[in-house]
Chain A
């Protein structure tokens, strides 16, 4: 009876894992990098051409800019930080109202600065979309656009992932005490891989459960809200988020010159929220009766409601706090609970220690799905016998799975490294960097898959691991070249965050080259009766 349950859940685990495994590899590899989206964007951003207007003069900038661009009064941002990714002190966006909520390509960004005469100058901004591109790969398991149908595909993968997690635990539970921390390295390869797969799976289980369930929510929240609105909320849901309408007899238009200056607003916010480290001021409807400024910031000691941190909303004219529902550390219990779901997915709590932990857990997750496929292949291996001393032909399905696993997983790794490097080399040469990043990634991705299917899986793995190592090494090499040969027109930032990107990429390249050498050794000395040993002239 008990054994029968385990057999059933083993089938569930095998099939859900097999279908979702490679998509999850992409989601986790790209997701681990998305934890450090900001440093990656800073790494790739060119040095700012224009001098940033000092924060102390930002009030003049706002007045000058709004005088000639009144449409920006609806919503604009004053950056408080001065890092590499900030092109202009003042920035606003105009969105195509037809576009999907999650479609960033429908947004045009503008920046404002002051010239020597104190007049506002405007410029359309093209901030790097590299971070966004990697994030989208993460959110929709390697598809190019974060659209509704793609999110539903991701949702199906996330449901299968949840089933794979639960079924994996059910299968492992009866022997957990015996198998836990037992890593039996030896002749029995399958045993060793299974032990390693189990240890990583069980140790990071809470992380994976959180990721699976939140991913399902991110995929289907619109549909769930829609159903609940009809079933539970009597159609009141949409209106619950609207603020009460302004009194009729519209208030006279207000003059932004009477607003408190950005430094004064920051002082006010700091007094109300001492732990908050402000990053930006987001102004809304400053000429209207319901003007508000959100002081965005991060607080490493508290749970952040959003990936960007949290905010306190102030009245920009009086400085009076309007809303602290999204202020890290000041939320009431129900709102804190909701924020914690986001924070647990996006690592937006606990500062950089937690970010590194999530980075490593994400990489371990990618590895977990890779080993799942290896186990599936190893289980179906045809072995040499005494009667049949020649290595038997391996099953076609395991051979195809080996080709696909190597090509898709390493294709994603190569593609991301190439598109990061390309962001610097092709800047200024290519106009449309959005398509350029996409083209570079998918060229490498599909190129790797093609290569993996043209070679034996083992050989392809060695080649593609070397390719991944080289492409990843190009990231710090580009920075080094920019310093050594300034005439190239490249740039290398020296802030700790961007040097961190270079160092992490260097460590990654070392890891890939180590794996390439280990795989080559396995090819040379490993058993001949395995999909990994086959010569290039495959058996089918």
Chain B
């Protein structure tokens, strides 16, 4: 930009950290646990369905959630943020699982 106009110095957004290993691991591991947790919530909330049907649906929803998390993980600005956000998501889901009344 031109220097002639003395604009107030804007904080440039820091570049997105690549953190390939940290992000990929976060997506692979926490994405998988998140998907399993969500499938558990689904199963709890649809206890009326027969187990063979409910179990198959719960299995089928795991890969889309897992790989959705894995393929979105590179949007995080750093590996640490990826771990924190996905970790928080996991805590939320597993917290809900524990809070739900145990049935069956």
Please give the distance in Å from B41's CB to the nearest CB on chain A. Answer: 9
Contacting B at CB under 8 A, from A7-62, are: 8-9, 12
Cβ-defined contact, B62 with A224, below 8 A = yes
CA distance A237 to B55 in the complex (A): 8
A293-317 vs B, CB cutoff 8 Å, 1 = contact: the mask equals 0000000000000000000000000
Please give the distance in Å from A469's CB to the nearest CB on chain B. Answer: 38
Task: Kindly state whether residue B22 has any CB partner on chain A within 8 Å.
Answer: no
Residue positions of B touching A, CB distance < 8 A: 13, 15-16, 18, 36, 39-40, 43-44, 49-60, 62-64, 67, 70-72, 74-75, 104
Cβ-defined contact, B39 with A232, below 8 A = yes
| Chain A positions within 8 Å of B71 at CB level | 12, 162-163, 166-167
Residue positions of A touching B, CB distance < 8 A: 1, 4-5, 8-9, 12, 159, 162-163, 166-167, 212-213, 216-217, 220-221, 224-225, 227-228, 231-234, 236-237, 240-241, 334-335, 337-338, 341
| Chain B positions within 8 Å of A12 at CB level | 71, 74
Given the known interface contacts A232-B39, A232-B40, A233-B55, the answer about A163 and B60 at a Cβ–Cβ threshold of 8 Å is no
Given the known interface contacts A5-B16, A9-B74, A240-B51, the answer about A231 and B40 at a Cβ–Cβ threshold of 8 Å is yes
| Chain B positions within 8 Å of A228 at CB level | 36, 39-40, 43, 55, 58-59, 62
Pick from A9, A159, A224, A240: contact of B70, CB below 8 A.
A159
Cβ-defined contact, A217 with B59, below 8 A = yes
CA distance A8 to B39 in the complex (A): 30
Pick from B40, B49, B52, B63: contact of A241, CB below 8 A.
B52
| Chain A positions within 8 Å of B70 at CB level | 159, 162-163
| Chain A positions within 8 Å of B54 at CB level | 334
Please give the distance in Å from B33's CB to the nearest CB on chain A. Answer: 10
Cβ-defined contact, A232 with B58, below 8 A = yes
| Majority DSSP secondary structure for residues of B touching A | helix
For the complex of A and B, the 9 pairs showing the least CB-CB separation, nearest first, are A166-B71, A240-B51, A216-B63, A232-B40, A162-B67, A334-B53, A232-B43, A338-B56, A240-B52
Closest to A240 in B: B51
Please give the distance in Å from A120's CB to the nearest CB on chain B. Answer: 38
| Chain A positions within 8 Å of B53 at CB level | 334-335, 338
Please give the distance in Å from A231's CB to the nearest CB on chain B. Answer: 6
Cβ-defined contact, A341 with B60, below 8 A = yes
Closest to B40 in A: A232
Pick from A167, A227, A334: contact of B49, CB below 8 A.
A334
Cβ-defined contact, A233 with B18, below 8 A = no
CA distance A70 to B15 in the complex (A): 74
| Chain A positions within 8 Å of B39 at CB level | 228, 232
Please give the distance in Å from B71's CB to the nearest CB on chain A. Answer: 4
Pick from B18, B44, B49, B59: contact of A224, CB below 8 A.
B59
Cβ-defined contact, A338 with B60, below 8 A = yes
Closest to A212 in B: B67
A-B contact pairs, 16 of them (CB 8 A): A1-B16, A12-B71, A162-B70, A166-B72, A167-B74, A213-B67, A217-B59, A228-B39, A228-B62, A231-B36, A232-B40, A232-B58, A233-B43, A240-B52, A335-B53, A337-B57
| Chain A positions within 8 Å of B67 at CB level | 159, 162-163, 166, 212-213, 216
CA distance A172 to B101 in the complex (A): 46
Please give the distance in Å from A174's CB to the nearest CB on chain B. Answer: 14
CA distance A162 to B15 in the complex (A): 26
Closest to B58 in A: A228
Given the known interface contacts A213-B67, A232-B40, the answer about A237 and B51 at a Cβ–Cβ threshold of 8 Å is yes
Please give the distance in Å from B81's CB to the nearest CB on chain A. Answer: 14
| Chain A positions within 8 Å of B75 at CB level | 5
Please give the distance in Å from A194's CB to the nearest CB on chain B. Answer: 21
Q: Taking A159-B70, A162-B71, A224-B36 as given, write out 19 further A-B residue pairs in contact, using a Cβ cutoff of 8 Å, ordered by the A residue number.
A: A1-B16, A5-B74, A8-B16, A8-B18, A162-B70, A212-B67, A213-B67, A216-B67, A220-B63, A224-B59, A228-B59, A231-B36, A232-B43, A233-B51, A237-B51, A241-B52, A334-B49, A337-B57, A338-B56
Closest to A15 in B: B20
CA distance A224 to B65 in the complex (A): 13
CA distance A53 to B58 in the complex (A): 46
| Chain A positions within 8 Å of B52 at CB level | 240-241
| Chain B positions within 8 Å of A167 at CB level | 71, 74
Please give the distance in Å from B13's CB to the nearest CB on chain A. Answer: 6
CA distance A183 to B59 in the complex (A): 41
Pick from A221, A227, A240, A241: contact of B36, CB below 8 A.
A227
Given the known interface contacts A163-B70, A227-B36, A228-B36, the answer about A213 and B63 at a Cβ–Cβ threshold of 8 Å is yes
| Chain A positions within 8 Å of B40 at CB level | 228, 231-232
| Chain A positions within 8 Å of B43 at CB level | 228, 232-233
Please give the distance in Å from A243's CB to the nearest CB on chain B. Answer: 11
